[in-house]
Amino acid sequence: MPQTNTLITIVGATAIGKTALSIKLAQHFNCEIISCDSRQFYKEMTIGTAVPDPDELAAAPHHFIQNRSIFEDYSVGQFEKDALAKLDELFAENPIQIMVGGSGLYVDAVLKGFDEFPDVAPQIRIDLTTELENKGIEHLQKLLKELDIETYNTIAIDNPHRLIRALEICIGTGETYSSFKNKPKAPRNFQIIKIGLKADREIMYDRINHRVDIMVENGLIEEAKQLHQYKELNALQTVGYRELFEYFDGNFTKEFAIEEIKKNSRRFAKRQGTWFRKDPEIIWFDFKEDVNNIFTTIESKK
């Protein structure tokens, strides 16, 4: 084992197989797993967020899985602090640990540090929320595209909270949201090995469509129905729930809502790909790669 602390980070699009690989790596290195999937923090959301099943959770120790409630505010900045504190504990036991997730912003927060943004007038968010209600999300998406094309191309623009957050910085500062990102941060006390999983687009989209079908079979509609009364909460502004809330409200048929979940999940995967492909430090493997080859690559980088 090396003396230098090493965080092996597994990234890639939704439904690509990150969980399975992270467990194999954790078992191989006898270490634990930090989850940085921002959808899986919440204990009320299980099926629609593809939380690891009980067998997977038992196969290796996991952290930050269903450890929060949808009624709690939990920011990426707080996650950065919590994850770094947990890593300090884990590195004291084993100098190799695993982090896994498809939420690029949360991955970067742990690996690089969270970007700091200036305070802006609260009224801007109120005004943007009113515009969202009156003119729809497409209006805000168009505005962000005009004000900050870089952020438009990288954030989850179907997430109203992320959209409004970026716009309020643009409007409140007169600068782009992206201009406040990637500034020097505090150095990390561990080295980083980044592993990415990829697949041809058609294969990836088929995997996503199949996963959604399985979620529906496993009770996604019933889970979403229990959460419908809380649909305004930020944690629920996400693919898999938002579409079903439209069905419950009479705006979509059930069949259309399911197809929208598939479509929006594919769009989400495309945005994840855009985010991660810009990182030259990621070592990419096909999702069917022999895990022994991945072990060998990691060993050579330690």
Annotated binding site: 12-19
Question: How many CB atoms are closer than 10 A to CB 3?
Answer: 6
From the annotation, which residues make up the binding site for substrate? 14-19
Which residues, in sequence order, are bridge partners of residue 33? 62, 98
Nearest by Cα to 22 from 139, 107, 126? 107
Q: State the Cα–Cα distance between residues 46 and 78, nearest whole angstrom.
A: 22
Q: State the Cα–Cα distance between residues 173 and 80, nearest whole angstrom.
A: 25
Q: State the Cα–Cα distance between residues 159 and 183, nearest whole angstrom.
A: 25
Q: State the Cα–Cα distance between residues 172 and 125, nearest whole angstrom.
A: 10
Do residues 167 and 152 touch, judged by C-beta distance below 8 A? no
Task: Please give the sequence-ordered ranges of beta strands (E in DSSP) within 161-215, or none if there are none.
Answer: 191-198
From the annotation, which residues make up the binding site for ATP? 12-19
- Looking at residue 246, its amino acid is E
Do residues 6 and 95 touch, judged by C-beta distance below 8 A? yes
Do residues 98 and 31 touch, judged by C-beta distance below 8 A? yes
Q: State the Cα–Cα distance between residues 215 and 243, nearest whole angstrom.
A: 14
Q: State the Cα–Cα distance between residues 9 and 19, nearest whole angstrom.
A: 12
